[in-house]
Structure 1
Amino acid sequence: MVTLNKIYTRTGDAGETALGNGDRVAKHSVRVNSYGTVDETNATVGMARLHATGDIDGQLAMIQNDLFDLGADLCRPDMEKDADAEYAPLRITDAQVERLETQIDAMTKAVQPLKSFILPGGSPLAAHLHLCRTVSRRAERLTVELSGLETVNPAAVKYLNRLSDWFFQASRIANNNGADDVLWVPGANR
Structure 2
Amino acid sequence: MGKRLTQIATRTGDDGTTGLGDNTRVPKHSARVQAMGDVDELNSHIGLLLCEKLPDEVRTLLVEVQHQLFNLGGELSIPGFELLKTEALAVLDDALALHNGRLPKLEEFILPAGTRAASQAHVCRTVARRAERSVVALGQAEAVNDTPRRYLNRLSDLMFVLARVLNRMDGGDDVYWKSERMAREGGA
Same fold (TM over 0.5): yes
Deviation, 1:66, is: 0.8
2:103 counterpart of 1:111: yes
**Gap regions ≥5 residues in structure 2:** none
Match of 1:74 among 73, 76, 97: 76
Number of the residue aligned with 1:49: 50
Candidates 118, 126, 134, aligned match of 1:142? 134
Deviations along 1:96-151, whole A, 9 cap, x unmatched? 01110010000111001111111011111100000000001000001001001111
SS where residue 26 of structure 2 aligns? strand
In structure 2, the partner of 1:30 is 31
SS in structure 1 of the partner of residue 23 of structure 2: coil
* TM-score normalized with structure 1 length: 0.90
Instruction: Tell me: CA distance 1:176–1:32, structure 2 relative to 1, closer, same or farther (3 Å).
Output: same
**Correspondence for 2:160 among 154, 163, 168:** 168
1:92–1:153 CA contact under 8 A, matched in 2: no
Question: TM-score, normalised on structure 2?
Answer: 0.91
CA distance in 1, matches of 2:29, 2:123: 23
C-alpha RMSD of the superposition: 1.7
Q: Percent identity?
A: 40
Cα offset, 1:90, TM superposition? 4.8
Give the aligned partner of residue 155 of structure 1: 147
User: Which runs of structure 1 show a deviation greater than 4 angstroms over 4 or more consecutive aligned residues?
Assistant: none
Matched residues, number:
180
Inter-partner Cα distance in structure 2 for 1:93 and 1:46: 22
| CA distance in structure 1 between the aligned counterparts of 2:144 and 2:93, rounded to whole angstroms | 21
